Chains A and B, each alone.
Chain A
Amino acid sequence: MSDILGLFDANLISSILRFVTPILLAALGGLICERAGVFNIALEGMMVTGAFAAVVGSFFTGSPLLGVLLAMFAGMLISLIFAVLAINLKGDMIVLGIATNLMTSGLTVFLLRTIFGVKGAFQDPSLLGLTNIHIPILKDLPFLGPLLSGHNLVVYSALVLVVVVQLFLFRHKLGLRLRGVGEEPEAAATLGVSVNKLRYLAILASGVLCGLAGAQLSLGNVTLFVENMSAGRGWIAVAAVMLGQAHPIGVFGASVLFGLSDTISFRLQGLGLASQFTDMVPYLVTLMSLFAIELQRRRSSLIKAEA
């Protein structure tokens, strides 16, 4: 037991948000789509595209921030393809999502070779990652200091975006319409709301957010690009949307849970456990949480039945 508690040192605490961020950003994108009635499982592919584009941008401009911008743009481009095929050509979203993920995993390897002349991974001393910002006063507090301070701009943006998405969906006119499109598309259409336009907006937003998530992977957590470096996090984000019931605060909680399991899995490797078992942790925790939703639902329906 003391071993487990010993894991929660300052190092672990400071890495929590770093691991939470990519899942959270992608999940926010998935959430907006879900609210607009779009089942987007292409998060994974948009994320890996973002991770690659971030490295390209940072390497050639020397500015990690421009890398982040390029990542958002690239994520949006992929989401645009998804949107055209899903909305204009009415393709099945599940099939398109799977195809998008496979296309991007191949395309990034193809471009890795074309642009950098390497296969598998790209790492270079002149590739700059995002700088961490230490917040005065806060950084000296115990626990809160390492938890909240010393992160890069993408991490802070992710936290702000939770609030922004919350306000957008529940306080802004456009967000209200977007939810209307998701819940009652026919009714929304009769009221003169353009269903397609809002779904486009949602898909493009998810592309930008997943691009940002990818940038955090390749310029935040590490400073390199590896083939398929999103490693299923896009799917974990899909699960986070379900666990968080497509509610920004709930999705934030789910992302923290999954990010935490990511962090712990990373740290457990130091304890001499076979890496294969620690690598399983995030996926098992995600699966388990999907059971929890159902058990929770049953309990609340039981309570209702009693009342």
Chain B
Amino acid sequence: MEPSMKVNKPALNSLRWLKKAWFAIQAPLIAIVGGLLIGALIMLITGHNPIDAYSEMLEGAVGGRNSANLVSTINRSAPIIGMGIAASIAFRAGMFNIGGEGQLVLGGVAAALTAVYVPLPPILLVPLALIAAALAGGLYALMAAFFEFKFNVPLLVSTLLLNYPARYFTSYLVTHPFRDVASGMNQTFQVPENIRFALLGENTQLHAGLFITLTIVILAAFIINRTVPGYEVRMTGLNARFSRYGGIRSKKVGYWSMFLSGAVAGTVGAIEILGVIYRYVDGALTLPLYAWTGIMTALLSGSSPFGVLAAGLFFSAVQTGGFGMERKTDVVRELSRVLQAIIIMLVAARASFQFGKQKDTVEDES
């Protein structure tokens, strides 16, 4: 795209790579610093001490005895990264899927019910639960793509609205037909112990499901980098509005990306059930706002899978740190959400300049 890319001197390549890498992280970094400064300003205005709050946040994110908080941060980052990948896959194809939450809960409940009620040996049951979750999430997302392409129902609005029926439906399932009544809570029975993901050590909450998340990141990077940019490059000059967030909106790419996006979201739900919660608990997947945080990681990283990985760890640290901050100071953990949103706003404001420049160069060339 840039004229300089036509030059092919190997010696310059590594330097250019560094330059490109810096270019990629420069905007998010500036936004993060800006976001923290604005957050400090908000705290000052409302009579809180930002230095106390931020140091407790840092301690809450990575400190604690035996780095217990760092483990929490890593654990929490898995669903965030997973949902970030789910969002990125759709965004890259120009599909603004903001219905990750609905796809996530349907996947979670599908995995939990499969695990509890299907009598199969673990070696078959674990994959089956994961597949059920991926299908539940994937088909639900596919439905929104179908509405968009066949009935012109805008995907942005339909995916958001579809979150609510999914949330209420799963809530119904675990408060009525599949409720573990004796537990006194709105939740399913526990999944059998032999199909839970193994813990990665004696005294840790880290579980084997994290490897599935990592695999998803790598696969997504492969899919996005190998298949989409081809379209992307060709389309950038032709359709600036949609190519801004990625490729083109051919129906086939649209359907597939929505299915994969939803399938990843559903799988994230399954991983949380089999690796962390061990049953479907009403609200357990929605209250931490995994889906929305995932969307923010995709926006912060420009929908690049490894960028999502980094952004997911960062946002997870901000959120886990938020709990520490809430315990030790009078600042509530929801301030983390405010910080994240401000960072995204700053990225959005800055990104426009860069996209603008890119578009100009394309036009200059043609």
Hey, which bits of chain A sit against chain B, CB under 8 A?
41, 81, 85, 89-92, 94-96, 98-100, 102-103, 105-107, 109-111, 113-114, 119, 232, 235-236, 238-239, 242, 274, 276-277, 279-280, 283-284, 286-287, 290-291, 293-295, 297
Shortest B324–chain A CB gap in Å is: 16
Q: Is the CB of A98 within 8 A of B153?
A: no
CB closest chain-A residue, reference B282: A276
Contact call A91/B352, Cβ cutoff below 8 A = yes
Q: Which residues of A contact B296 (CB under 8 A)?
A: 99, 102
Known: A90-B352, A106-B338, A239-B161. 6 other contacts (CB 8 A): A89-B349, A91-B349, A109-B332, A235-B160, A286-B161, A291-B151
Asked if residues A113 and B172 are in contact (CB atoms below 8 Å), the reply is: no
Give the chain A neighbours of B160 by CB distance below 8 A: 232, 235
Question: Are the C-beta atoms of B348 and A96 separated by less than 8 Å?
Answer: yes
Looking at chain B's contact residues, the main secondary structure is helix
B197 part of interface (Cβ distance < 8 Å): no
A106: chain B residues within 8 A (beta carbon)? 334-338, 341
B residues 326-366 with Cβ under 8 Å of A? 330-332, 334-338, 340-342, 344-345, 348-353, 356
Collect the chain A residues with CB atoms within 8 Å of residue B330's CB: 113-114
- B172 & A274 in contact (Cβ 8 Å cutoff): yes
Given A41-B156, A98-B98, A110-B331: A280 touches B348 (CB 8 Å cut-off): no
B172 pairs with A276, CB closer than 8 A? yes
Are B345 and A109 interface neighbours, CB within 8 A? no
For A282, give the chain B residue with the smallest CB separation.
B164
B299 within 8 A of A: yes
Query: Contact between B341 and A100 (Cβ–Cβ < 8 Å)?
Result: yes
Neighbouring B residues of A110 by C-beta, 8 Å: 42, 46, 331-332, 334-335, 338
Contact present for A102 and B341 (CB under 8 Å): yes
**Across the interface, do A91 and B348 meet the contact criterion of CB distance under 8 Å?**
yes
Q: Which B residues are in CB contact (< 8 Å) with A238? A: 157
A277–B168 alpha-carbon span in the complex (Å):
7
Is B168's CB under 8 angstroms from A235's CB?
no
Q: Could you jot down 18 A-B contacts, CB within 8 Å?
A: A85-B345, A92-B244, A92-B351, A102-B296, A103-B341, A106-B334, A107-B42, A109-B334, A113-B330, A235-B157, A235-B160, A276-B171, A277-B168, A277-B172, A283-B161, A284-B165, A291-B147, A295-B151
Return A179 CB to nearest CB of chain B, in Å.
21
B160, B162, B345, most chain A CB atoms within 10 A: B345
What is the distance, in angstroms, from A87's C-beta to the closest C-beta of chain B? 11
For A113, the chain B residues whose CB sits under 8 A away are 330, 332
Beta-carbon contact of B176 and A274 below 8 Å: yes
Chain A residues within 8 Å of B168, by CB: 276-277, 279-280
Cβ contacts under 8 Å, A114 to chain B: 46-48, 330
Contacts of A107 in B (CB 8 A): 42, 334, 338
Cβ-neighbour of A276 out of B175, B342, B352, B356 (below 8 A): B175
User: For B98, what are the chain A residues with a Cβ–Cβ distance below 8 Å?
Assistant: 98
Contact pick for B342, options A103, A242, A284, CB 8 Å: A103
Chain B residue nearest to A107 in the complex (CB) = B338
- Residues of B contacting A286 in the complex (Cβ-Cβ under 8 angstroms): 161
Which listed residue, B162, B336, B349, touches A85 by the CB 8 Å rule?
A: B349
Tell me the bound Cα distance from A81 to B342 in angstroms: 11
Closest Cβ of chain B: how far from A206's Cβ, in Å?
A: 17
For A91, list chain B residues within 8 Å (CB): 345, 348-349, 351-352
Contact of A290 among B158, B172, B331 (CB under 8 A): B158
- Give the residue name and chain of the B residue nearest to A82 (CB): B345
- Assembly CA distance A85 to B346 (angstroms): 8
Question: With A and B bound together, what is the CA distance between A194 and B136 in angstroms?
Answer: 49
Asked whether, in the complex, the Cβ of A290 is within 8 Å of the Cβ of B345, the reply is no
Going nearest first, the 6 A-B pairs with the smallest beta carbon separation are A106-B337, A103-B341, A89-B349, A276-B172, A91-B348, A109-B334
A280–B164 contact, CB under 8 A?
yes
Cα A293 to Cα B158 with chains together (Å): 14
Most buried by B among A100, A110, A113, A294: A110
Give, as a whole number of angstroms, the nearest-CB distance from B303 to chain A: 11
Which residue on chain A has the smallest CB distance to residue B144? A287
Which B residues, 199 to 246, have Cβ-Cβ distances below 8 Å to chain A? 244
Residues of B within 8 A of A103 (CB): 337-338, 341-342, 345
B164 surroundings in chain A (CB, below 8 A) = 232, 279-280, 283
What residues of A have a CB within 8 angstroms of the CB of B356 in the complex? 90
Instruction: Give bound CA distance, A277 to B50, whole Å.
Output: 44
Partner of B161, one of A41, A119, A235, A279: A235
Residues of B within 8 A of A279 (CB): 164, 168
Q: Cβ of B288 < 8 Å from any Cβ of A?
A: no
Q: Provide the bound-state CA to CA distance between A109 and B132, in Å.
A: 36
CB distance from A66 to the nearest CB of B (A): 21
The residue on B at minimum CB distance from A45 is B341
Minimal Cβ-Cβ distance residue in A for B293 = A102
A81 / chain B contacts, CB cutoff of 8 Å? 345
Docked pose: A280 CA to B169 CA in angstroms: 8
A77: shortest Cβ distance to chain B, in Å?
13
User: Which of chain B's residues has its CB closest to A103's CB?
Assistant: B341
Does B152 touch A at the CB level, under 8 Å? yes
List chain A residues, Cβ under 8 A from B323. none
Assess whether B255 is interfacial by the CB under 8 Å rule: no
In the assembled complex, the Cα of A91 lies from the Cα of B356 at a distance in Å of 11
A30 to chain B, nearest CB (A): 11
Closest B residue to A293 by CB, please name it.
Answer: B152
User: Which of B46, B154, B331 contacts A242, CB < 8 Å?
Assistant: B154
Smallest CB separation, B346 vs chain A (Å): 8
Q: Does B278 lie at the interface of the complex (its beta carbon under 8 Å from any beta carbon of A)?
A: no
B47 CB, min distance to chain A CBs, angstroms: 7
A120 to B292, CA, bound (A): 19
